Homo-oligomer: A and B are copies of this chain.
């Protein structure tokens, strides 16, 4: 196989298409990718203070939102373009699509352009499992997954790759979603129980993942459904007005977030006072803050997705795709022989 990824000249930028991303993930193996991504995220979170952090830049419209999520350290700059348009499914489009770019800070030159719809699903699951590895009760073996949509299989695989979770209890308002999940992971080695309600799904689960698509203040988990010693992985609530957990759960839980200024706007904790104590998860990784403090504590990872996770994912793809043919070169950067002769370059193209 020819390695297409190494640009022959400075004007070319490697591009990973959707098709190439799928082939790259299959080539490496999805659980390896999830574990590797968790490693890249952990490496970046441990040096959190080095990052230039910006809350996402959002353009809202009646139909949805378009966001740019930049993040940079001293060596690399990345950004993700991502939209969220709930009505898109009516026209056969995706609710969320994304692409992103990584650039060299020293030159400003892009070094990677890639699809990020699939990559975001992978990094979200890797982030959840990474947090759970530090927050979930020891010996956890069973996870409830409430909401069996596009993110759910990735969550299951990430939790097995990082925590060894192999018993799953599923629930979704639409049985077809659960059936799809079971079909996709049939024969993958999980013990899967389909439940008749969210209440039934959480029975006996040490970890509860909520990953529903409801775009409003929903109560996927009510206060009485969450007992002592449980880790909550709340993935679905990720924008103003969209939450999944009863406020009573939040006041009982030790809450961990990615980047507090963003999570207070977008996460479950938008239901709480703006000064409610939360821990930024990177501090657990650096040892600056405790993770799980007691076997009977309720821990909550209030996940909304932060730009540094995308940065980590972009770094990972840049590193991995270099060993494969799963990229094509894009003629993206004008490269006149004499930098002052842009006009001459255009004219000579004739």
Q: What is the interface of chain A, defined by CB distance below 8 A to chain B?
A: 10-11, 15, 17-20, 22-23, 25-26, 30, 52, 54, 57, 59, 61, 63-66, 68, 70, 72, 74, 77, 79, 81, 83-85, 88-89, 91-95, 97, 99, 101, 103, 105-110, 115, 117-118, 121, 148-154, 177, 180, 183-184, 330-336, 338-347, 349-350
Contact = CB atoms under 8 A, between A and B. Distances in A.
B346 A22 contact: yes
Contact of A184 (B52, B54, B341): B341
Contacts of A15: 330
Nearest to A65: B108
A103 B150 contact: no
Most-contacted residue by chain B among A57, A154, A332 (CB, 10 A): A332
Contact of A68 (B57, B154, B342): B57
Contacts of A177: 340
A57 B70 contact: yes
Contacts of A101: 81
A34 B335 CA distance: 21
B150 A342 contact: yes
A85 B330 CA distance: 21
Contacts of A17: 330-332
Most-contacted residue by chain B among A91, A106, A149 (CB, 10 A): A106
14 contacts: A17-B330, A20-B331, A22-B345, A26-B346, A59-B77, A79-B81, A85-B106, A93-B107, A115-B332, A117-B334, A118-B342, A118-B346, A150-B340, A180-B344
